[in-house]
Amino acid sequence: MNKFFSTVLILFAATVGVNAQQQNNNLHQCLTDFYYERAIAANPEYKIEMDRMNEQIKAMANAHFKTTGTVYIIPVVFHVFHQNGKENISRDQILDQIRILNEDFRKIAGTPGGSSTNPLAVDTEIEFRLANIDPNGNCFDGINRVFDTNGLGNNADDQIKSLVSTLWRGGKYFNVYVVSNIKDTDNNPNTTILGYAQFPNAGSTITRGVVIRSDYIGTIGTSSKVKGGRVLTHEVGHCFGLYHPFQGGCFGGDQVDDTPPVSGANSGACTPSKNSCNNDSPDLPDMLENYMDYTDGGCQNIFTIGQKNRMNSMISTYYPNLVSPSNLTATGVQNYTIPAATNAPPVTQDFEASTANNFSLSNGWSIENLTGNAYGWRVTDSAKFNGNKSIYIPSYGHPTSLTRSTYNIYSPPLNLSLMPSAYFNFTVSAAQRITTLSDSLRVFVSTDCGKSWTALFKAGANVISNNGVVATSVFVPTSKSQWKTFSLDLANFRTSNVRIRVEFFYYRGNNLYLDDLNISSNLATGIQQSELVSGVSLYPNPATQSAQVNFTMPNKQSVQVELTNMMGQQFGTLDLGELAQGEHSFTTNQLHQGALPEGVYLVKILAGGRQHVLKLIISR
């Protein structure tokens, strides 16, 4: 609704209309207005600038300054603040949120965001993509995970942004700060704030972006389903200059001509024909389905023509660098190809250059201790295979509450494309605490900058340790006979940008030590490469629905199986666990439930870092 907006905004959470759900939970959607009010209290010139900006943007929007068909692409980074709880949401949940943003802002047909039949509903021509390049020019998956040592994300306000380097906040990226909980400005412990944003001219460039609860990201994983992933849609609207349609009530204004006036925030499901204001002409019902109101996600499905023009004008005025062609290339969201790594093997990590009890590594290797450093990987001089140091996990001292926690070591990006052969070699020493519980060590490989990982190796402490060592006290290896060396074949991963991830999976075991990690063209000295499975057969082939695979294990190893089509599309995986020496079998319907479409498939058996591939034909 177009009314001159001159009154100082009040904390809208005090005026939000409540439905039965909100009466029970005191659920308030956002604090954007509060942070705007605080900004103009600290700097009254923001209010003058806002009034000037509204007049300028109105003129630009009315002039339809941008050519239809020109899409603004927004490079996005999610900063996930966590203490290794459920707030450390998955990449899949974040990708689900990106999907929803694009369905809503692009009005994609066949999706909830494209479902509106209102003639005012429009494709805003704003599109969101996860950044592929970090501020230092390295390839990146668009997610910056920050271990929240002091728990600021448990009661977050704008201070949470200061935990992220200004390299991220200089205008190259649209930043989404994902937290466990948001501070209620009234200090009411029964109030739930879902998110808030910064208007484009109400504060510094380095504080722009959205702060949002982790359980309102997307619609899968830990997400609350009631808002349908549209809390972020709403907050991004604020970042691009949209007000609430109920701003100032019936006689206020959201600076948009084609949104009817609304007396107060609507919530819950859509109520047909609700009309809270009668001062507009023609007298139109509340636009309950507008993303900038507070109705549930299943109700919302519209940005109007006026809102589109306002957002596009705001982006042109306040975010010109963000959407510039040079920045889209710099952030890897346009014309992007995975860069070739500059590191070429041999590449080693023997931990000799690191300080004991330290958590940083040399030569581009890095540690990720998701539960904090107290229980994660650390360099030690109390045990080694060669030299004076190794790295270890103090698993014996882990509290049981951290069962199933993971800890990672990452190699630098590696260029293996010119190598005739490549192996990842490492030496490990481990022990079980009791025979019924066993931690495990896993190795993964990525060829797309860490966006996806392929399992290469998995073994429990009972397999890793020589002779199945069980130690009921803290385990520290005292001789080379307590170490075992592995060589994993990287023949299938010889591309120009490869990373190795070594993952420790805690399951209430004993300490585990690693030494002499290296990637080279040679097997580790004195070690024979793991034998391939033998005696492999698949029948019937062709098959009408399912086939049986028989094979023989030359020794005790972990085995995984993958089923893909000839284009690489995955149809299923199967973890057979640690198999003893001898004959084994499985059926392909264990990988894929139901009938496979007719075609040619590949059954890949992974064991000991090597892969055996069978061709399966489905024909009826």
* Biggest distance spanned by C-alpha atoms of the chain: 88
Return the minimum-mean-pLDDT range out of 25-29, 182-186, 369-373, 472-476: 25-29
Residues 60 and 160 grouped into a single domain:
yes
Residue 527 domain flag: no
What range does the domain containing 361 cover? 347-520
Residue 525 domain flag: no
Residues 311 and 438 grouped into a single domain:
no
Residue 5 domain flag: no
Residue 4 domain flag: no
- Residue 1 confidence (pLDDT) above 50: yes
Picking from 300, 330, 360, the residue at the C-terminal end of a domain is 330
Tell me the mean pLDDT in the region 377-388: 94
Model pLDDT, residue 65: 56
Residues 155 and 199 grouped into a single domain:
yes
Per-residue model confidence as pLDDT tens digits over 262-276: 998 898 888 877 999
Per-residue model confidence as pLDDT tens digits over 446-476: 999 888 888 888 888 777 776 667 888 999 9
- Indicate the pLDDT class of residue 27, thresholds 50, 70 and 90: low
CA torsion 88-406-564-111 (nearest 10°) is -10
Burial-class residue 290 by CB neighbours within 10 Å (0-12, 13-18, 19+). Answer: buried
- Can you tell me which residue has the tokens 């698949």? 538
- Indicate the pLDDT class of residue 12, thresholds 50, 70 and 90: very low
Picking from 330, 361, 386, the residue at the C-terminal end of a domain is 330
Q: CA–CA separation, 355 vs 392, rounded Å?
A: 13
Model pLDDT, residue 443: 92
Beta bridge partners of residue 582, listed in sequence order = 553
CB-based contacts of 386, cutoff 8 Å, min separation 6? 350, 515, 516
Residue 556 domain flag: yes
Per-residue model confidence as pLDDT tens digits over 189-230: 677 899 999 988 877 899 999 999 999 999 998 898 778 999
Per-residue model confidence as pLDDT tens digits over 279-327: 888 889 999 999 999 999 999 999 999 999 999 999 999 999 999 999 9
CATH number of the domain within which 556 lies: 2.60.40.3080
Residues 69 and 126 grouped into a single domain:
yes
The residues carrying an active-site annotation are 235
Q: CA–CA separation, 322 vs 485, rounded Å?
A: 49
Q: If you write DSSP's letter for every residue of 458-505 in order, what string do you get?
A: EEEHHHHSTT--B-SS-----SGGG-EEEEEE-GGG-SSSBEEEEEEE
- Can you tell me which residue has the tokens 């809102």? 307
Any idea what DSSP says for residue 327? Answer: H
Per-residue model confidence as pLDDT tens digits over 64-73: 555 667 899 9
Tell me the mean pLDDT in the region 18-40: 57
Residues 513 and 601 grouped into a single domain:
no
- Residue 113 confidence (pLDDT) above 80: yes
Residue 233 identity (one-letter amino acid) = T
Q: CA–CA separation, 333 vs 71, rounded Å?
A: 13
Are 327 and 145 in contact by the 8 Å Cβ rule? The answer is no
Most confident of 156-165, 271-280, 600-609: 156-165
Which pair of structure tokens corresponds to residue 371? 């539960």
Q: CA–CA separation, 520 vs 422, rounded Å?
A: 6
Closest residue by Cα to residue 538 from 599, 596, 606, 618: 618
Model pLDDT, residue 149: 84
CATH number of the domain within which 485 lies: 2.60.120.260
Residue 139 domain flag: yes
CATH number of the domain within which 165 lies: 3.40.390.10
Return the minimum-mean-pLDDT range out of 388-392, 418-422, 532-536: 532-536
- Can you tell me which residue has the tokens 């109390």? 382
Q: CA–CA separation, 310 vs 245, rounded Å?
A: 14
Residues 371 and 439 grouped into a single domain:
yes
Picking from 274, 297, 330, the residue at the C-terminal end of a domain is 330
Are 35 and 196 in contact by the 8 Å Cβ rule? The answer is yes
Question: Rg (Cα) of the chain, in Å, rounded?
Answer: 28
Residues 278 and 156 grouped into a single domain:
yes
Most confident of 39-48, 463-472, 546-555: 546-555
Residue 7 domain flag: no
Specify the pTM: 0.73
Tell me the mean pLDDT in the region 544-566: 85
CB-based contacts of 377, cutoff 8 Å, min separation 6? 359, 367, 369, 391, 392, 393, 407, 408, 409, 504
Are 259 and 219 in contact by the 8 Å Cβ rule? The answer is no
Model pLDDT, residue 577: 86
Are 525 and 558 in contact by the 8 Å Cβ rule? The answer is no
Residues 134 and 171 grouped into a single domain:
yes
Report CA 146 to chain centroid distance, whole Å.
12
Residues 354 and 326 grouped into a single domain:
no
Number of domains in the chain: 3
Residue 350 identity (one-letter amino acid) = D
Model pLDDT, residue 511: 92
Residues 454 and 553 grouped into a single domain:
no
Per-residue model confidence as pLDDT tens digits over 138-149: 888 999 988 888
Beta bridge partners of residue 518, listed in sequence order = 348, 425
Helices vs. strands in the chain: H and E counts, helices first: 8, 27
Sign (positive or negative) of CA dihedral 22, 28, 33, 35: positive
**Residue 11 or residue 47, greater confidence:** 47
Closest residue by Cα to residue 97 from 195, 201, 169: 195
Tell me the mean pLDDT in the region 532-540: 81
Sign (positive or negative) of CA dihedral 114, 117, 118, 122: positive
Strand, coil or helix: 204 = coil
Residue 285 domain flag: yes
37: enclosing H helix or E strand: helix 32-42
Residues 192 and 292 grouped into a single domain:
yes
Tell me the mean pLDDT in the region 80-101: 90
Residues 201 and 274 grouped into a single domain:
yes
CB neighbour burial string for 243-268, b if at least 16 within 10 angstroms, e if fewer? bbbbbbebebbbbbbbbbbbbbbbbb
- Indicate the pLDDT class of residue 519, thresholds 50, 70 and 90: very high
